[in-house]
Chains A and B, each alone.
Chain A
């Protein structure tokens, strides 16, 4: 049966040393067939990354446990996945830049992360001498048409935001094509998490994207724990959940305000800015850091929640939620803002599915996926919570998903605090006796965040890869803006709120 060709191919392939998902080593032909199956929509792609001599992809069939497919790089080549499945194109270009491996049959081999400014080429692979290029020397996709003009924006933008280049091609006011060029904040996270002590790697993963630091540390800790076959104590899991939901609250408050502000509806930003600040101040009071950086560690958490702190959290939520409801009513009762958000930046549902778009971007376009529920992990396992899903796929829907999630997160925090188990908050982390691998996904505020880690014997990280949700959302922004006016780009962009740093690695 065609639907099952991937399962049939993998049935006889032994699963490798990865935990908790199986990892199958396959040859290039099988790898290519699975890539083709991805393109046919039989599986979704969760991640695609490299290591010396090997390329891995994490894939998932809806309703089943994901798995990782690995293939050896032969003569510096591996079969292109992007040839069949467009979401793989950028990860593949990144592998080509970092390792120097050629994706055979790839539709696009322009450099992605390598802007010609590094002191070496293929820094994670053969590490040859660098070919320096002018950073502006990049072949943008051709646009042909008489009445078209181009608007280059960035890398340095007008607001307090991260750098990236956007090339708009417009017909009058209407955007007919947007092309992104990213990679400006590439810091070499994969290299910096190669052969380092676990604690060092944890610090660097926590700084992949500052706004998702809790989610990244959470995923990293769970990947390390999976590799070592340990679990964090129940109390630690509950505290992690509280932190993850506080991070979601802070970011969603900020986003709802910032999106409305991009349509000059500043009153929402003014109020949401205060809500966000209250959550950050609360996080600082409870966990000692406003963004809760480095508080989730392999084995558990580094900070406890006292009874007093729990009361403080509940009191803050009691004060914020009704005030936020009032702002939501204001948003809903104001036609002038709705006029800007409704129908703007429409993302088609089939694209969201094809790119396995996570977070509010996917859920606003009917993709009903939330890693907390669908790849359940402690403390969310066995808990019922709302996962708001909308079908409109526009800026308004992405705002409404966030509004719904704010309520759901507050309910979750209250439930977690109400059922907080007693006991230790940190389990001992043994040294690995032999190399072992772990993988984990957490639901960050912007979507699913995946961490794969291989530990060497003796307590060091041999290799690590982090895949932020932005990888599969950035390309969709290019699709969502098509046919909109240039002036609505900030609105669309903010409603996606992809991470530059999280993507650029």
Chain B
């Protein structure tokens, strides 16, 4: 343990981007996001992830946002354990008929103001599961969606970029900071 901690003290942080276009984009996206979150919302964004029928590919990449490489918390993005603590629901799909009620209840349990981000090709459309008796379809067939982030699954960098777009959209939609959405 001691050697490991000592080594960590002197090692360069893995989060610092190497001169690689992808990681450079990550840093850029992240900084932009931080500034906007603070201006619009005045604090960090609490995100609740809801799997409403996904194959778990999207969950793997959303998970990756929390690792030391993407480290989304440094931008004020935090995943929370309950919808009651959340500003944003990140929903992956396709919404199955068996998850519909659970998703509706999760949405109802999230306090206003709230945003919904539909993640992945299945959450945004219905993906490869189109036409099944067992799926309702895209997330917006069940709850109002503010933003979609496509990809199968979207890469962590796409997810960060998507969250920037969300803040942009929210900033345009309302002048004051009191109500985030008039719906």
Contact = CB atoms under 8 A, between A and B. Distances in A.
Interface in B71-103: 79, 81-83, 94, 96-102
Interface stretch (B37-45, B60-68, B140-148, B171-179): B60-68
B55 interface: yes
Contacts of A156: 50, 83, 102, 106
Given A293-B57, A330-B1, A330-B4, A160 B132 contact: no
Interface stretch (A51-59, A74-82, A116-124, A142-150): A116-124
B170 interface: no
Interface stretch (B27-35, B123-131, B160-168): B123-131
B133 A185 contact: no
Contacts of B129: 187-188, 192, 204, 207
Nearest to B99: A184
B69 interface: yes
Given A163-B99, A187-B129, A267-B4, A210 B60 contact: yes
Contact of B127 (A191, A207, A501): A207
Q: How big is chain B's contact interface, by range? A: 35 or more
Given A185-B98, A187-B94, A291 B57 contact: yes
Given A185-B99, A191-B133, A204-B129, A159 B81 contact: yes
A208 B127 CA distance: 13
A219 B166 CA distance: 39
Q: How big is chain A's contact interface, by range? A: 35 or more
B102 A184 contact: yes
Given A185-B96, A274-B69, A277-B69, A209 B55 contact: yes
A326 B63 CA distance: 24
Residue in A192, A209, A334, A499 with the greatest tally of chain B CB atoms within 10 Å: A192
B114 interface: no
Interface in A4-27: none
Contacts of B63: 160, 254
Contact of B155 (A115, A208, A290, A334): A290
Nearest to A213: B57
Majority DSSP secondary structure for residues of A touching B: loop
Given A210-B60, A270-B68, A501-B55, A123 B99 contact: no
A501 B106 contact: no
Residue in B49, B68, B127, B132 with the greatest tally of chain A CB atoms within 10 Å: B132
B94 to A, nearest CB: 7
A353 B139 CA distance: 41
A200 B80 CA distance: 37
B16 interface: no
Contacts of B128: 192, 200, 203-204, 207
B4 A184 contact: no
Contacts of A188: 129, 132-135
Residue in B69, B100, B133 with the greatest tally of chain A CB atoms within 10 Å: B133
Interface string B2-37: 011000000000100000000000000000000000
Contacts of A163: 51-52, 99, 102
Residue in A117, A183, A209, A284 with the greatest tally of chain B CB atoms within 10 Å: A117
Nearest to B57: A210
Nearest to A196: B131
Contacts of A499: 56
Given A115-B98, A158-B82, A160-B63, A501 B131 contact: no
Contacts of B56: 162, 209-211, 499-501
A333 interface: yes
A156 B3 CA distance: 40
Given A210-B153, A274-B68, A187 B135 contact: yes
Contacts of B99: 155, 163, 184-185
A24 B102 CA distance: 43
B55 A160 contact: no
A162 B60 CA distance: 10
A327 B3 CA distance: 11
Given A161-B59, A162-B56, A187-B129, 5 more contacts: A117-B97, A185-B99, A192-B131, A270-B67, A326-B4
Interface of A: 113, 115, 117-120, 123, 135, 155-156, 158-163, 183-188, 191-192, 200, 203-204, 207-211, 213, 254, 267, 270, 273-274, 276-277, 280, 284, 290-291, 293, 326-327, 330, 333-334, 499-501
5 contacts: A123-B134, A186-B134, A291-B153, A293-B57, A501-B55
Please list the 10 inter-chain residue pairs (A to B) with the smallest Cβ-Cβ separation, ordered nearest first: A210-B57, A273-B67, A188-B134, A188-B132, A158-B81, A117-B97, A207-B55, A210-B55, A210-B56, A115-B98
